[in-house]
Chains A and B, each alone.
Chain A
Amino acid sequence: MILVFVETGADGATEVSLETVTFARSLADRTTGPVHAVLVGAAPDVTGQLGAYGVAEVHHATGDAFSAYAGAAWAAAVQAVAAETGADAVLAAGTPRGMEVLAHLAARLDVAMAANAVGVLEGGGESDPLVVSRQVQGGAVLEEMRLPERPALLTVAGHAVEASPAPAASEAVLREHSPEVAAADLLARVVSTEPAGPDESGALTSARVVVGAGRGAGSADGFDGVAELAALLDGALGVSRVVTSLGWRPHHEQIGQTGSRISPEVYIPCGISGAIQHWAGCSSSKTILAINTDENAPMVTKATYAVIGDMAEVVPAINAEIRRRRS
């Protein structure tokens, strides 16, 4: 049995959690099967939604201990459900929270965990070790990693698979749990949350269009054109690490391995060479239109479309053309 830690938002299970459930189905096909989901704390009813993705049982852990987030407490709940159901593997999305909960679980069970898995290569039967492929070095290198213990723990890299409903939807059964949580597991707990501003990184990760700017912006004053283009396209502005390091723009706009990972319909990187650090954060964009003076820059060669030129000239021309067609 494969257990998936599912995260939810206002619209139900998050996209990456549905991707993880889809990944879990392919793992279940190699094992003895079904896929179960576990949710912790306040969550909307996603039983119907998860059933459509092939989940047989939805375990919902609730109680006073889960009124505010605590990684150890969340892991205690997942641990209790995993023990009760005899899970052979526990999966989570490769989100900050998915990583944290699974790492706690790995420490508690003293078993290995594979972070950012992208595929299953071997095994999955009851006793043969699982071998997974996972992203290391910010996605520039893949590691084949052996997971000999049970339960096998892995997080699934964002957009490693596309979320797809099961060929045959199941009527998922909802099971309520009230796991015990030790006081020690509640020591590191959220005591307050300051809502994020509308212009912060949430907008970047959910935008359909992202306009990016890098060193080619030239200075802190070089972002007017790209900001206007982002506004004209109802998109968000993102920047490379160089830009935040130089203090030209705030860190929450950073795209990359140590910034936001984006997956928009269209990404328009301007004056960004495309170092591995940056590529790790933008490689799952559907279409990339690079604007760069260097036709050999990695961002240009990896892009779907490109314009060779200085962003300071090209971007204002695009903005003018969009405005002209609108009037």
Chain B
Amino acid sequence: MTNVLVCIKRVPDTAGEVLLTADEQALDARFVGFTVSAHENCAVELAVRIGDAIVLSLGPTDTVEQLRGALGVGATAAVLIEADPVGYGPADVAREIAAVVKAHEAEGRTYDLILLGNDAADTGDFQVGIRLAYELGRPVVNGARTVEVTGGIATAHGDGIDGVETFEVPLPAVVTVLEGGVEPRYPTITGRMKAKKTPIETVEPRQEPRGSGRVRLTLPPAQPSTVDVLGEGPDAAAAVVDLLQRLGVAR
């Protein structure tokens, strides 16, 4: 059985208006829910399909909610590195994940494959997977849509410049996942029940973080609406085609 570690991040679910905290260091999440990115949902799905999936996250205590979400769809164990992610840069996060991987390895719990999302939905650093690979001395494939494992080799497919690219990497390896290759499953009732009962291994961070370099967050200035309403309903068709001709895109 292939052991797969899949890393997720608890992020604010910002479908609507975004507000900042008073210290401008984070999003004000009092009025929003939390989720994990679509990339990571696909990574969890791939992990469950490939083998024995163990889910890991660095985040506050409430991250248990996202870890249970992954347990509910088939992950068999969960690890929480309990820390406030605002103070952690991608290099810090990679180092903490690597420390857990090495500690587990020393106990005989090895991970053949580590999956992560391509980039976090909030900070969008695009680095944790690659930095983790260097911490562990493993090869890394970025932006895979699908991953399969056979005979000690991970085969990953992703969109390249000239088409769909195939990578074959020897295990152990790291792969970051892009949404779109697989459809994440929904938790079953029994899955949810099992997730509630699965103990979550909580560990302390090993090192003082170097930080993310964040000075502060700002919101882009709100642009007043300058929309020119051409009309209502199908009667607006002539005005639309006039506009498209003026813009030079309709003959």
Contacts and interface: CB of A to CB of B under 8 A. Distances in A.
A150 interface: no
B29 to A, nearest CB: 12
A254 interface: yes
A112 B229 contact: no
Contact of B165 (A193, A233, A241): A193
Max chain A C-beta neighbours (<10 A), residue from B39, B126, B235, B243: B126
Given A254-B180, A265-B249, A320-B237, A144 B230 contact: no
Nearest to B157: A194
Contact of B134 (A108, A192, A235): A108
A116 B213 CA distance: 14
A326 to B, nearest CB: 7
Interface residues of A, number: 93
B130 A115 contact: no
A130 to B, nearest CB: 10
A52 interface: no
Nearest to A142: B218
B226 to A, nearest CB: 7
Nearest to A235: B249
Contacts of A112: 89, 91, 213
Given A146-B215, A193-B163, A276-B14, A304 B228 contact: yes
Contact of A306 (B125, B162, B214, B230): B230
16 contacts: A9-B161, A113-B127, A131-B215, A137-B18, A147-B213, A190-B167, A193-B166, A196-B163, A201-B159, A251-B179, A276-B16, A287-B247, A289-B240, A302-B225, A309-B232, A326-B251
* 8 tightest A-B CB contacts, nearest first: A317-B234, A251-B180, A187-B139, A317-B237, A144-B215, A301-B225, A309-B233, A188-B139
Interface of B: 14-16, 18, 20, 27, 37-39, 89-91, 94, 119, 121-127, 130-131, 133-134, 137, 139-143, 159-170, 173, 178-180, 183, 212-220, 223, 225-241, 243-244, 247-251
